[in-house]
A and B are shown apart, each in its own frame.
Chain A
Amino acid sequence: MKNLVLGNEAVAQGAIDAGLSGVYAYPGTPSTEITEYIQRNKFAKESKIHCTWSVNEKTAIESALGMSYSGKRAMVVMKHVGLNVAADAFMNMSISGINGGLVIAVADDPSMHSSQNEQDSRYYGKFAMIPILEPSNQQEAYDITRFAFDLSEELKLPVLLRMVTRLSHSRSGINRSDQRPQNAINLPENTKRFTLIPAYAKGQYEHLIEKQPIIIAHSEASKFNKLIKANDVTLGIIACGITYNYLMENFEDIPCQYPVLKIAQYPLPKEEVAYLFEHCDRILVLEEGYPIIEERLKDYLDKDKKIIGRLTGDLPRTGELNPNIVAKALGIKQIISETKSKMVAGRPPQLCDGCGHTDLFNAINELTPKTGKKRVFGDIGCYALGALPPLNTITSLIDMGASITMAKGAVDAGLKNVIAIIGDSTFTHSGMTGLLDCVYEKTPITIIISDNSAIAMTGGQDSSALGRLKNICLGIGVEPEHVNFMVPLKKNHDKNVEMIRNEMNYNGVSVIISHRACVRLSRDKKEQIKLKIAELN
């Protein structure tokens, strides 16, 4: 019987079977289940595969590189925007190269189901000049991940594994192959390449450039790229990753009449692309995310009109593809007899009944008529829902940690009564450095850490902030009398409003830790949280 797994779980199992020694990650939809699978996996536990959450994607990727430096195989996992946080190390480790196999698994979110943008991680792969692997289905997700570690060690480069939401969060049966043992510790022969002082970095960069033809040769030889020839050459199709399924869905009963190049390994294989160029009148590029391949193949002024896709309007410029969109682009007749009923109203997500964030927002909203609108800066987490009616409390949400630093900039601009709201885990992820900026300049700002003792939005993972917030704030230099605590409950409403008002009146840095555990956590978990807080304070 096949193993029934999510695409993300197939990646995790592939990594385990490739001899993984450690996964490093920060939770983020749609990537979270990769790490969670390894955390639950019995074999991974027995073989002591590292799988504790990292504080953020930058610490994660650097730890993974350290494990790779030591000769072992490591994987780092994040959502697409997490790669922005990890980008510094990411860009430099293609220069240094790796030692033990290193795979960077990034889950993109086309259509922004749970994200603030739909950036395409393939750009990062190209930017760093490393191989990119993009599976089309769950079996491939398994096979490709297992293979990615071998490829990484052979090229001595990190490999980017690109997933997308629809594959990450779709289940299917997979067959596993043999389990490879973990690598032993084996330090790099040449440590100069990991020491990127300019004298060494220049040589390493040239070395990376020299490797590029070899990387393309690997794509050309890859069993995951496939050219399927056909007779009707009025059109050729390049189908990247999961879009291959959307194409083939339209050819279930009959073979596709056009030549198709299925892509799961980048850079693009030159020979196969050349075949399509020579034989086909036009080439349709199907890709999730940005039109990176379409743009690559097109001449800038589009004189030959040969390449079509998202840039030419044959496919939508934004959002994920699906079988219907591909059918339309190919002129295939579709029968869709029903339309959406006019009775259907939108049903956006909302904060859970009894959520502590709601009580906090209600307290702030009571002050707003006097303190002024549009000066509550928000952050990434469940409390982002405070931007929606009926609360309408926060008016900004950009990236992890930006609440504090944007609020600081607004204060610097002369704005008064400025509040930043940030979750406990978001604070330790990227808020601490911004707090130090505020302390350093004695910025008049009120920072409220809405602490629910969990990384709640992604499913209640453990937060590294647990029990440490007070000491972190004191350690960074917030004055002890301005590190305050409140419990966001209806019965404390008046008291909480008063505390926020008082702290807003203070001409310096105030931190209010608004603590109540996430209502979705189990009773056992809440008990553990209490014990941990007591232990650390």
Chain B
Amino acid sequence: MKTNIVLAGVGGQGILTIAAILDTAAIQQDLNVKQSEIHGMSQRGGAVHSHVRISDKEIFSDLIPKGKADLILSVEPMELLRYLPFLKEDGYLITDSKSFDNIMDYPDETKLINEIKAHKNSIVIDATKIAKDLGNSKAANIVLLGAATSKIPLSEASLLDAIKTLFSKKSERIITLNINAFFKGKELVSGINV
């Protein structure tokens, strides 16, 4: 069993939080994990990504090879498409529909979403809006994580534990918000047959 996940977004959108939750849960389940991330200049509003690899066997490369990702989870639609070459033939795409437009030549949003939806295994959800309705749009990343659970080889219990651990220094309200965001995301895709 090996699962390769590419996380994508823009610096500051919280993909490292998703990565940390996945790592923590994997270690707790006594699985091997490698997770590479981007530090430094790109974190200033640039494109960022993280590769998460989870396996019960030894993992060699810190980077997922192109053509080997089981899932690309993006908190921003254009960033999802940036990493498409990493996706394996029957891999899945999950993204927030909310764009982050901080550049001059951002593509047409309707065309962008249509291109993603044309992919056979794609799930596009309005995670930012869902998170906002729950109380804080910043929890969009956790909505997406919830939506991706069926594609991730980790138990719900360990993911929830990891969320609690990661947010342990925050208020009870923030922890509850993120747990609600997780379940809302999960619930949302349970009806979608992909």
Contacts and interface: CB of A to CB of B under 8 A. Distances in A.
Interface of A: 1-2, 4, 29-30, 32-33, 113-114, 137, 166-167, 169-173, 242, 244-246, 248-249, 252, 322-324, 327, 334-341, 343-352, 382, 385, 457-459
Interface stretch (B102-110, B132-140, B177-185): B102-110
A171 B23 contact: yes
Contact of A322 (B32, B65, B79, B111): B65
Nearest to B76: A347
Nearest to B2: A252
Contact of B61 (A1, A33, A323): A323
A254 to B, nearest CB: 13
B34 interface: yes
A334 B65 CA distance: 10
Contact of B33 (A4, A167, A248, A385): A4
Interface in B72-91: 78-79, 81-82, 84-89
Contacts of A343: 78, 81, 107, 111-112, 115
B140 to A, nearest CB: 18
Contact of A340 (B27, B57, B81): B81
Given A166-B62, A349-B42, A349-B46, A344 B67 contact: no
B77 to A, nearest CB: 9
Given A173-B33, A334-B66, A1 B28 contact: yes
Contact of B43 (A248, A252, A346, A349): A349
Nearest to B32: A173
B8 to A, nearest CB: 11
Looking at chain A's contact residues, the main secondary structure is loop
A169 to B, nearest CB: 5
B41 interface: yes
A345 B33 CA distance: 31
A171 B33 contact: yes
Contacts of A172: 32-35, 59, 62
B66 A345 contact: no
Contacts of A166: 36, 62-63
Interface string B20-46: 000110011010111111111111111
Interface in B108-157: 111-112, 115
Looking at chain B's contact residues, the main secondary structure is mixed
A248 B34 CA distance: 15
10 contacts: A32-B39, A113-B38, A113-B42, A137-B62, A170-B34, A170-B35, A242-B62, A323-B63, A335-B89, A340-B85
Interface residues of B, number: 51
Nearest to B72: A338
A249 B63 CA distance: 10
Nearest to A250: B65
B5 interface: no
Given A341-B81, A345-B107, A246 B42 contact: no
A353 to B, nearest CB: 9
Given A4-B24, A336-B85, A339-B84, A169 B65 contact: no
B102 A350 contact: yes
A339 B60 contact: no
Given A4-B24, A113-B38, A337-B89, 9 more contacts: A114-B41, A172-B32, A172-B35, A172-B62, A173-B33, A244-B60, A347-B78, A347-B79, A458-B40
A338 B33 contact: no
B106 A345 contact: yes
Contact of B67 (A245, A249, A334, A348): A334
Nearest to A348: B46
Would you list the 6 A-B pairs with minimal beta carbon distance, nearest first? A114-B40, A29-B40, A349-B46, A336-B67, A170-B62, A170-B36
B45 A349 contact: yes
B189 interface: no
A337 B90 CA distance: 10
A170 B78 contact: no
A2 B26 CA distance: 11
Contact of B103 (A246, A337, A345, A458): A345
Nearest to A334: B67
Nearest to B59: A172
A336 B68 CA distance: 8
Contacts of B79: 347
A329 to B, nearest CB: 13
